Amino acid sequence: MTTTFPRSSPSALGIDASGIDALVRALEAAPGVEPHGLMVLRHGQVAAEGWWTPYSADRPHLLYSLSKSFTAAAVGIASREGIVDLDSTVVSHFPELDAEVTDARSRSMTLRNILAMSSGHREETLDRARAIDPTDIVRGFLLLPPDEDPGTVFAYNQPCTYTLAEIVRRASGTSLVAYLRPRLFDPLGIEQVSWKQDEHGKELGFSGCYATTESIAKLGQLYLQRGVWDGERILDEDWVEAATRTQVANPGEENPDWSQGYGYQFWMARHGFRGDGAYGQFCVVLPEHDVVVAMTGQSTDMQAVLDAVWEHLLPAIDRDGPADTVDLSALALRPVPGGRLGLEARGTYARASRSGVPGLESVVLEQDGERWVVTLHQDGSAVRAVVGEDEWAVDGSTAAGAATDDDGRVLVAVRFVDTPHLLWVRLDAGDRTFAARWATEPLHDTVATLHRPTAD
pLDDT score of 4: 79
Residue 213 has pLDDT above 70, yes or no: yes
Worst-scoring range by mean pLDDT, 169-173, 367-371, 412-416?
A: 367-371
Residue 171: what are its φ and ψ, rounded to 5°? -70, -35
Tell me the pTM.
0.96
Average pLDDT of span 339-358: 90
Residue 258 has pLDDT above 70, yes or no: yes
CA distance 444 to 83: 31
Residue, of 450 and 456, whose pLDDT is higher: 450
Q: How many other CB atoms sit within 10 Å of the CB of residue 143?
A: 18
Predicted confidence band at 351 (pLDDT cuts at 50, 70, 90)? very high
Residue 2 has pLDDT above 80, yes or no: no
Instruction: Name the class of domain 343-449.
Output: mainly beta
Average pLDDT of span 276-290: 98
Neighbouring-strand partners of residue 194: 210
Residue 58: what are its φ and ψ, rounded to 5°? -90, 0
- The pLDDT tens digits for 292-331 are 999 999 999 999 999 999 999 999 999 999 989 999 999 9
Average pLDDT of span 215-241: 97
Q: What share of the chain is helix, strand, coil (3-state, %, to 5)?
A: 30, 25, 45
Question: Mean pLDDT of all residues in the chain?
Answer: 96
- The pLDDT tens digits for 99-153 are 999 999 999 999 999 999 999 999 999 999 999 999 999 999 999 999 999 999 9
For the chain, which residues make up each domain, given as ranges? 343-449
Average pLDDT of span 432-437: 95
Residue 306 CB partners (closer than 8 Å, separation 6+)? 257, 269, 270, 282, 284
Residue 278 has pLDDT above 60, yes or no: yes
Residue 183 has pLDDT above 70, yes or no: yes
Q: State percent of the chain over pLDDT 70.
A: 98
Q: State percent of the chain over pLDDT 90.
A: 94
pLDDT score of 3: 59
Residue 221 CB partners (closer than 8 Å, separation 6+)? 5, 41, 44, 229, 292
Predicted confidence band at 185 (pLDDT cuts at 50, 70, 90)? very high
Residue 76 has pLDDT above 90, yes or no: yes
H or E stretch covering 27: helix 17-29
CA distance 385 to 320: 47
Q: How many other CB atoms sit within 10 Å of the CB of residue 112?
A: 18
pLDDT score of 455: 62
Worst-scoring range by mean pLDDT, 96-110, 227-241, 304-318, 341-355?
A: 341-355
Predicted confidence band at 1 (pLDDT cuts at 50, 70, 90)? very low
